[in-house]
Chains A and B, each alone.
Chain A
Amino acid sequence: MDNNFRHRRVKIIKINLSNMILYENKRKKLISVLKWGNNPFKKFVCTGEIREELGLVKSRKDLIRKIEKIVEEDKNFILPIIGDVGGGKTHLYWALKNSLYRYNTFYISLEYIYKKFFYNIYSEFIENLELAPLKFIINRLCDEWGALERKFGFFHVADLEKIKNFAFKLLSNKYNDMETETLTNIISGIVAHQLDPYKKIEAERWLLGELMDAKELSSLNISHDLRKGKNAFMMLMLLIENSKSGTILFIDDFEKIISITEPKDDSAEEIYDPSWLYGADKSPDDIASEKVFDKIVQLQQIEGLRIIITLKSIDSLEEIKKKYQEQNAELLFSIKDPLFLLDFNEEDIFEFYKESMRYFYENMGISDFINAFQNPYFPLNKRILRNIFENTKGNPREIIKALIKIFNEIIYSDEKLDAVLENYENIC
């Protein structure tokens, strides 16, 4: 009996000890993980290229619902989203992409794309659409053009010239202002891809927007690849209008159109005067902005293309409306009332911090840390987060920058955690 009792006691003590050690270790282990140089907050700028996994905070979910409603109710519109610099406009794109997964949502930034505008948009569109849906649309188009006609009730004997002629007749009636050469190129590319097994590979490269030399193009009976003229625009139009899923184009930094047209400060000294080359009336920036504006107006002709634009202020929106009023007043009605992307509220910063840490734990393979600490904001605390919120006035980018700074100090400082945090607890 004695032996048994002793054995049980030792066992209980061992269990308690191991629990205690585990609890203590987790705090230390997290600090060690951080000290290896792992900062849970790394990026304070979101881009259209790198996927964002974190969703939106609670106060912004209503915004997503409003956008979803507009997208479902209407097929052609421009929806302005207004938010400050660093307010999370690009992050909103990723949240929308995840939420509206049934749609082909793709992103461009006018900051970077203004040359070869249609070609660049087409490349982004195709990259998001992927090959299988592209083939499905092409297949359907060829069916409409008569590729599935059954000879003698059974045999699909595709007469390529007949199909091309029929397609040309259809498309030239529908898109009567499109150049003949553009239509011929598009039809040849699509028909070769779908119905000519010996040209399929080359045709697929052409469809994917690859740059091709004259020899490759001539084998397809095509004069130019998609960079030239309106080839890319016509392809975009065909694919979007025949796509079963809707298409959403998210244009970031839309005020680029305005900023380059804003009057220059005359007092600024200019070494190079553009008027020497372009005349006194128009600067190269004016010409560039007009071209981009014209192209956006052309994009609006595409049936089923929903455009979401981001702007930094309501004034920019007024400028854009003025531009539409001057140049294309009938399209003014397609601009929806703006939605505002507000800064974080106090609850948002707590939620955002917890979600970011959860994502960090999962990525580091320590998911058991998610609920391991009594203080759910460990290694920080509620007071520090509140201080950050007050200092940054809820601007998401500034909040992330502050968090990066604190975590960097935790990682690289030789002081104890409490000592590091003390400085931030007292800042107000």
Chain B
Amino acid sequence: MSDVNGNILYDSVKGIKKEGEFVGSIITRCNDDKDSIIFSDNLKISNSEGIFISNGFKVGFELIYNKMSAFSRKIDELNIKDTSSIEYSILIPEDVMQVYDEGQFSDAFPYTLNKLNTAALYLDEYPYGINHLDFFKEEMLRNPVALVGNGILLADRVVIDVRDDPVFYDCLIVGRDENSNLSVSYEPITTVKKSLTNVKWIIILGIEELKL
């Protein structure tokens, strides 16, 4: 667990709003139906203009023809005047990012699968539920993002074990503690038991879409 008090840029629950321009690794969680997430390397907050993000990457679900689909899209510029549509924005501490970076170039997993386009691996929502865990059983997929309980989990790779439970490697976890304070942690391995945990969704980010 890292001390992130200074890194919380905006928190609608705790009423935190830091004015200024911020650069680094920033996660913004939206207050929409599908808990969309925006990843960006910059963020500007001002009382008059609200929150401004340029060159961000939004991930979430959308309903298309009565079917839920995972999406990820590049946002050139996003100006959020009504900040109530954002739950929080947090700048991940650089020391945590460095540990996260170090886990990226592991020689132990040379044959990890890269998905070309972003796709849903799992969605727990009636009646649009999606579950491809069995199909990818014992495979290793790159770039998963998940919403587990109340937290965002971004990992370098995920393995679906023999019980269809996802095991995330090299993970950044952003969530709230029992006092609703935001926290950031790094975990080398996180096993998520679907039967015990409230896994809302898992999305595998497409490598081609990240390259855009």
Contact = CB atoms under 8 A, between A and B. Distances in A.
Contacts of A139: 105
B112 A197 contact: yes
Nearest to A147: B105
Contacts of B186: none
A194 B172 CA distance: 23
Interface residues of B, number: 27
A24 to B, nearest CB: 59
Contact of B207 (A152, A153, A157): A157
A159 B210 CA distance: 11
A194 B25 contact: no
B24 A155 contact: no
Interface in B189-205: 205
B112 A157 contact: no
A153 B105 contact: no
Interface in A10-67: none
Given A157-B207, A157-B211, A159-B211, A152 B105 contact: no
Interface residues of A, number: 16
Nearest to B43: A153
A152 B101 CA distance: 14
A153 B38 CA distance: 10
What is the predominant secondary structure among interface residues of chain A facing chain B?
Answer: loop
Given A150-B25, A194-B105, A155 B39 contact: yes
B105 A154 contact: no
Contacts of B111: 197
A200 interface: yes
Interface in A128-177: 135, 139, 148, 150-157, 159
B26 interface: yes
A148 B74 CA distance: 20
Interface in B6-57: 24-26, 39-42, 55-57
B40 A152 contact: yes
Contact of B41 (A153, A156, A194, A197): A153
Contacts of B210: 151-152, 155, 157
A197 B110 contact: yes
A238 B9 CA distance: 43
Most chain A C-beta atoms within 10 Å of own C-beta, residue among B92, B105, B211: B105
Most chain A C-beta atoms within 10 Å of own C-beta, residue among B57, B107, B110, B211: B107
B211 A154 contact: no
A280 B106 CA distance: 60
Interface of B: 24-26, 39-42, 55-57, 74, 92, 97, 101, 104-105, 107, 110-112, 143, 154, 172, 205, 207, 210-211
Given A152-B55, A152-B74, 19 more contacts: A139-B105, A150-B25, A150-B41, A150-B101, A151-B210, A152-B56, A152-B210, A153-B24, A153-B25, A153-B40, A153-B42, A153-B92, A154-B39, A154-B154, A156-B101, A194-B105, A197-B110, A200-B110, A201-B110
